Chains A and B, each alone.
Chain A
Amino acid sequence: MLTHSAKRVEIIIEAPMEGRLTDALQAAGVTGFTVLPVLGGSGRSGQWSREGQVGRAGMVAVICLIRPERLDALLEAAFRVVERHIGVVSITDTQVLRAERF
């Protein structure tokens, strides 16, 4: 099976910032992403869990798969939103099957 190199960017960010991040990504031309709920975790601000949350609390994971040459534009757009916020941005090399979709 023919595969193609791509970048997988995972941004874990506070739920109230989700809309701002996805808007910034779309404005930067990144129209494909997946948003996943995060069950809980622990970090510099302490432990937290999604169970029993009643407001727009907690964290979400925004995952983008893109061609390597588009990485910088995505990171610049994302950084402007997440710079001051709690969260994690990670980038990994990955392979995709249908390169024209990314």
Chain B
Amino acid sequence: MGDILSLAGQNLLTPMILSFVLGLAAALARSELSVPEAAAKMMSLYLLFAIGFKGGVAVAGHGVDAHLLTAMAGGVALSFLLPFAAFGLLRGMTGLSVVDAAAVAAHYGSISIVTFVTATSVLASQGIASEGFMVAVAAAMEAPAIVSALWLVARSGAGVRMDARLWHEILLNGSIVLLIGSFVIGAVTGDAGMARIEPMVVTAFQGILCLFLLDMGLVAGRGLRASRGGLGVGVVAFGVVMPVVGAAAGLAVALLVGLSPGGTALMMTLAASASYIAVPAAMRVALPEANPSVSLTLALGITFPFNLTFGIPAYVAVAQAIGG
């Protein structure tokens, strides 16, 4: 426990976390500080490319093996199953309707790539190695949760709008295409490719991550301000309890698959995180009756800061204590 608190303390005083806190505080204080939409998108593209490319380079040496495939299968299973746990908790802890609970559950079964990126950055800063293919596991965990959430709604008799076009949009959304594409580029070009673009994808990485987290803090702060405490105690408690439940499930899968301590921390982080890019758009099309402000405020305003400040250091410490 002492190690976890010490690690959490160290993690809180990194430029990345402090940038997020700055954005959060600025938004809560109604500062006019803002990041233009185009700049946020550019940074998002950069981070996805860099993390995908680095993951690809890491697996270039040994190619696709059974370990990668079992880790991906484990990640997909988690993404399918976590919405059921989230849905059960939401129905027990909150007064959310079936549709709202299912929409929130889809966010929590899917993943937050920025939380994943921050976790890889924390691991790198502490010199903890992890499996490069975890980037591919992250990409595979984006969509299955949507299927589970829609099944939960369909079972209740409510209308679900799901068609081939939506599947196309989910499976080929920009984040997944860029993440997988840059992963393949990294795997094909290997160390020689890395040597050519290292100043861009490695040297500048943490600085740009700081600016992106500043923006995430601003978005989270605005969401919290707009909700004005309207979420209710049960919903807010869910935003803290669910990542812990997800992390525990991620730990079990990581141990089953046989991941390294670094890989285990990343699997825990993925399972603990909640999507706020891919799933919200899919939910707006498939479940338009769901209130988007509940899901987004929970994912961005409660769970994301929780994972960033306390979750990731705890997942790293637990993974090291068990696997290290």
Which positions in A face B, CB cutoff 8 Å? 14-17, 20, 45-57, 84-86
Contacts and interface: CB of A to CB of B under 8 A. Distances in A.
A85 B284 contact: yes
B225 to A, nearest CB: 8
Contacts of A51: 34-37, 40, 218
Interface residues of B, number: 31
Nearest to B216: A52
Contacts of B165: 20
Nearest to B279: A55
B293 to A, nearest CB: 4
Contact of B280 (A46, A49, A57): A57
A55 B34 CA distance: 17
A52 B226 contact: no
Contacts of B219: 52-53
B3 interface: no
B291 interface: yes
Nearest to B45: A54
Interface in B264-301: 276-278, 280-282, 284-285, 288-289, 291-293
Q: Is the interface of B mostly helix, strand, loop or mixed?
A: helix
Contacts of B284: 14, 16-17, 85
Contacts of B292: 45, 86
B41 A57 contact: no
18 contacts: A15-B281, A16-B281, A20-B285, A45-B293, A46-B226, A48-B293, A51-B35, A51-B36, A52-B34, A52-B37, A54-B41, A54-B44, A54-B215, A55-B278, A57-B281, A84-B161, A84-B288, A85-B284
Nearest to B215: A52
Interface string B8-44: 0000000000000000000000000011110011001
Contacts of A86: 288, 292
Given A52-B219, A56-B281, A46 B227 contact: yes
Interface string B288-316: 11011100000000000000000000000
A49 to B, nearest CB: 6
A53 B40 contact: yes
Q: Is the interface of A mostly helix, strand, loop or mixed?
A: loop
Given A16-B284, A52-B40, A54-B40, A45 B291 contact: yes
Contacts of B277: 54-55
B293 A46 contact: yes
B54 interface: no
Given A54-B40, A57-B281, A49 B222 contact: yes
Q: Which of A46, A47, A53 has the most CB of B within 10 A?
A: A46
Contacts of A15: 281
Contacts of B37: 50-53
B98 to A, nearest CB: 16
Query: Which of A47, A50, A55 counts the most B-chain CB atoms under 10 A from its CB?
Result: A55
B114 to A, nearest CB: 9
B74 to A, nearest CB: 26
Contacts of A48: 226, 293
B43 to A, nearest CB: 8
Nearest to A47: B226
A17 B148 CA distance: 22
Contacts of A47: 222, 226
Contact of B289 (A17, A49, A55, A84): A84
Interface string B188-229: 000000000000000000000000000110110010001100
Contacts of B159: 84
Given A53-B37, A55-B277, A55-B278, A85 B288 contact: yes
B46 to A, nearest CB: 12
For the complex of A and B, the 7 pairs showing the least CB-CB separation, nearest first, are A55-B277, A46-B293, A84-B288, A47-B226, A16-B281, A56-B281, A51-B34
